């Protein structure tokens, strides 16, 4: 490969590393062209699968600041560059490897962190982003519904109390008004008493 071609290949792989949230290194020895095409189809929604040269990939990884992959760049290597959900991509690779043991998942990098084959298996066992978001949405809806019930109960109770007070005021209103004239004689009593005292004073 000419120097210019090598430089272009290194730049392309480095760009793929930079543009991917994750990258999974695999060995594809023993897979047919048809099987590799099928694998690409299986994971294309979340990742692209590219056969690479180890020496060029080492330089590209260094250029992109990716660490933890050099020791795994041995033998026929292909990389799944993940631009979608890394959990779904890991599931796709795991499931394909189960059906086609010639595919060997060697290692990977997720969000810049080196991952072993065991780490990637654990990642594949996780629930997908869509499932987690769905569960979160369900939990939020339930919480909102509970919150609405909690707010609604005090409001309805308050409404009943206000209505009861209003009814009581209406019932007691006429009684309170009819009681006002009865207070008049009590107000005139002091005036009578003062008159008696004045008359007594005149007698003396």
- 140 vs 134: CA distance, rounded Å: 10
Which among 21, 26, 105 is positioned nearest to 66, based on CA atoms?
A: 21
The helix or strand, by DSSP H or E, that contains position 50, with its residue range, turns out to be: strand 47-52
Q: Facing residues of 116 across strands?
A: 107
Angle of helix 33-43 versus helix 86-99 axis, rounded to 10 = 150
- Give the total residue count for the chain: 204
- 134 vs 95: CA distance, rounded Å: 23
- Which of 101-110, 120-129, 148-157 reaches the highest mean pLDDT? 101-110
Residue 185 reports pLDDT greater than 70: no
Using an 8 Å Cβ cutoff, are 60 and 13 in contact?
yes
Q: Facing residues of 48 across strands?
A: 81
* More reliable by pLDDT, 161 or 99: 99
Ranges 26-35, 93-102, 144-153: which has the least confidence:
144-153
Angle of helix 117-125 versus helix 86-99 axis, rounded to 10 = 110
- 142 vs 20: CA distance, rounded Å: 35
Tokens coding 76: 């026929």
The helix or strand, by DSSP H or E, that contains position 114, with its residue range, turns out to be: strand 113-116
Q: What is the pTM of this model?
A: 0.62
- 85 vs 46: CA distance, rounded Å: 6
Residue 132 reports pLDDT greater than 50: no
Which among 65, 63, 64, 67 is positioned nearest to 25, based on CA atoms?
A: 67
pLDDT of residue 92: 95
- 163 vs 92: CA distance, rounded Å: 64
pLDDT of residue 39: 97
Token pair 């990742």: residue: 47
The helix or strand, by DSSP H or E, that contains position 24, with its residue range, turns out to be: strand 22-27
Half-sphere exposure (CA, 13 Å, Cβ side) for 181? Answer: 3
């Amino acid at each position: 490969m000419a120097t210019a071609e090598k430089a272009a290949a290194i730049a392309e792989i480095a760009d793929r590393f930079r543009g991917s949230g994750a990258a999974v290194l695999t060995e594809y020895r023993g897979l047919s062209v048809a099987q590799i095409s099928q694998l690409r189809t299986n994971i294309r929604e979340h990742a692209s699968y590219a056969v690479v040269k180890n020496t060029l990939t080492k330089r590209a990884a260094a250029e992109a600041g990716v660490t933890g992959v050099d020791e795994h760049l041995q033998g026929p290597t292909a990389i799944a560059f993940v631009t979608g959900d890394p959990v779904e991509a890991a599931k796709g690779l795991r499931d394909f490897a189960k059906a086609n043991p010639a595919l060997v998942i060697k290692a990977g990098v997720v969000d810049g962190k080196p991952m072993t084959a065991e780490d990637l298996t654990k990642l594949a066992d996780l629930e997908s982003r869509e499932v987690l978001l769905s569960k979160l949405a369900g939990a939020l809806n339930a919480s909102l519904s509970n919150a609405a019930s909690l707010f609604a109960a005090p409001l309805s109770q308050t409404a009943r109390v206000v209505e009861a007070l209003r009814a009581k005021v209406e019932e007691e209103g006429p009684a309170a008004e009819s009681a006002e004239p009865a207070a008049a004689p009590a107000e005139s009593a002091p005036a009578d008493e003062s008159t008696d005292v004045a008359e007594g004073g005149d007698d003396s």
